[in-house]
Amino acid sequence: MNSKLSQEIKAFALSCGVDKVGIAGIDRFNESPEGLHPTDFLPGCKSVIAFCVRLPDGAINASMRTFEDGMYDLHGIYGAYGYVGAPNYELLFANYKIARFVEKLTGCAAMPNTAGPTHGAKMMSMRHCAYAAGLGEFGWSSLMLTPEFGPRNRFGAVLTTAELEPDPMYNGPKLCDPEKCHICEKMCPTGAIPPYEKGSERLVCSGGKEVGYSQINWSKCRLMCHGTRAEFNESGEDIIPRSVTDPLDSELDAINDYFNRNPRQNFHQHSPSWKCGNCLSYCPVGSWYERYGESGISGVNTDKFIDE
């Protein structure tokens, strides 16, 4: 493995505007689900270069204003600059530049991966790539946390047949303690994130390190994120009829069935998925209080959701 090549590639990635970058060897993906292993995308893949961009605090503020002040029409700023818009295009071009640089430098193939669902391509899990490359660890919310920014990042990855020197897995201070911190659970408007219960985790193993995160009820999450009920959108109307199902007392299979039958074609993603973001916005990891609470950007006291 060539340490100098790895350092050159990481330095170039940072010059493309990403905020963190790490490299994972292919052995860290031994537990990947069928069809989602890096070699399913790029035969002969030996390394995965993962990176992230930090979301602007001001874009997170737009999400907070929605829930703290009822300013639903401001939430599109979060959609554009904190979720499906600018961050994904920033990652899109970084992917392209990094892949081309790797091919020129090494003579090996490099596959850029799409950032976000805006381009309709099959995707690997960018958060699992970031975890394998040592950028951070998972929180109970299932979001990938970096120590610098918490969950307020978006991730990208380039696959390559070049054998690069991998970075160590994250071994810093534990970032999320769901036994004590219940912020993501309590801030979820539909209860999609369950309370922590030992043994209920979804376990992920990479590089010999095992981590667990919550088994989210994705139907409840979609109900909120897609703004499908009157109380969750600016129109004041139900997008999914209440007769379809009771959103809080069922498994909500009917919600997914409804989306499959009625895709919304007027958005990049067919239907928006950025009308919430509370688990991302209010997670205390990444100097949350200094950046949001103490600065006055947020008026929510999340201390009450943390056990001493």
| DSSP string computed for 35-102 | T-SHHHHSTT--EEEEEEEEPPHHHHHHHHHHHHH--GGGHHHHIIIIISSHHHHHHHHHHHHHHHHH
Residue for token digits 């090996």? 108
149 pLDDT band, cuts 50/70/90, is very high
Q: Percent of the chain beyond pLDDT 90?
A: 61
Return the domain boundaries, the chain. Answer: 3-305
Instruction: Tell me what pLDDT residue 294 has.
Output: 93
269 pLDDT band, cuts 50/70/90, is very low
Average pLDDT over residues 205-222: 84
Instruction: Tell me what pLDDT residue 137 has.
Output: 95
Instruction: Tell me what pLDDT residue 150 has.
Output: 98
CA–centroid distance for 105 within its chain:
30
Mean pLDDT is lowest, of 81-85, 128-132, 212-216, 228-232, for 228-232
Instruction: Tell me what pLDDT residue 267 has.
Output: 42
Instruction: Tell me what pLDDT residue 217 has.
Output: 84
Instruction: Confirm if 106 and 12 have CB atoms less than 8 A apart.
Output: no
Q: Considering just the CA atoms, what is the radius of gyration of the chain in Å?
A: 20
Which is more confidently placed, 120 or 266? 120
Instruction: Report the C-alpha gap between 257 and 239 in whole angstroms.
Output: 14
Which is more confidently placed, 248 or 59? 59
Report the run of H or E that residue 213 belongs to, with start and end.
Answer: strand 209-213
119 pLDDT band, cuts 50/70/90, is low
